[in-house]
């Protein structure tokens, strides 16, 4: 069996070397028919597994994104309320050193939430 395949392959290569124009023509016909066949198969019998990957929705807001935004807004609202309380304390001149540190911390937290870092 092995010898038969080797002999057939050898004869085929010898024939291709003796008749390059016919070999080229047959090869091009085979490739063209294969290409047209694959086009017809792709158009009329599309695979159901093709294009199952969905691109990410960059410009639509999903539920998780909306939830994160709501949480950030609530957190920012808490910070603003606490800063208002500290402002009223300042107006009464009751601020202490720990209050100024708290103000700085709250301001930084607000900036991070606002800019999304």
Phi and psi angles of residue 49, each rounded to the nearest 5 degrees, phi first: -90, -5
* Tokens, residue 39: 């086009």
Domain parsing of the chain, residue ranges: 2-44, 67-115
The C-alpha angle 79, 82, 87, rounded to 5 degrees, equals: 120
Instruction: Indicate left, alpha or beta for 46 from its phi (over 0: left) and psi (-120 to 50: alpha).
Output: beta
What value does the mean pLDDT of the chain take? Answer: 85
pLDDT digits (tens, 9 = 90+) for 68-92: 788 888 898 998 999 898 888 888 8
Asked if 83 and 106 count as a contact pair (C-beta separation under 8 A), the reply is: yes
The reported pTM is 0.44
Encoded tokens for 62: 């999903």
């Amino acid at each position: 069996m092995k010898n038969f395949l080797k002999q057939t392959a050898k004869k085929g290569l010898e024939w291709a070397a003796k008749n390059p124009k016919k070999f080229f023509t047959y090869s091009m016909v085979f490739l063209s028919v294969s290409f047209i066949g694959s086009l017809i198969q792709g158009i009329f019998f599309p695979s159901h597994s093709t294009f199952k990957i969905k691109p990410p929705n960059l410009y639509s807001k999903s539920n998780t994104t909306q939830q994160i935004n709501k949480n950030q807004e609530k957190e920012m609202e808490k910070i603003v309320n606490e800063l208002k309380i500290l402002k009223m304390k300042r107006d009464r001149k009751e601020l202490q050193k720990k209050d100024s540190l708290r103000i700085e911390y709250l301001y930084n937290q607000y900036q991070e939430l606002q800019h999304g870092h």
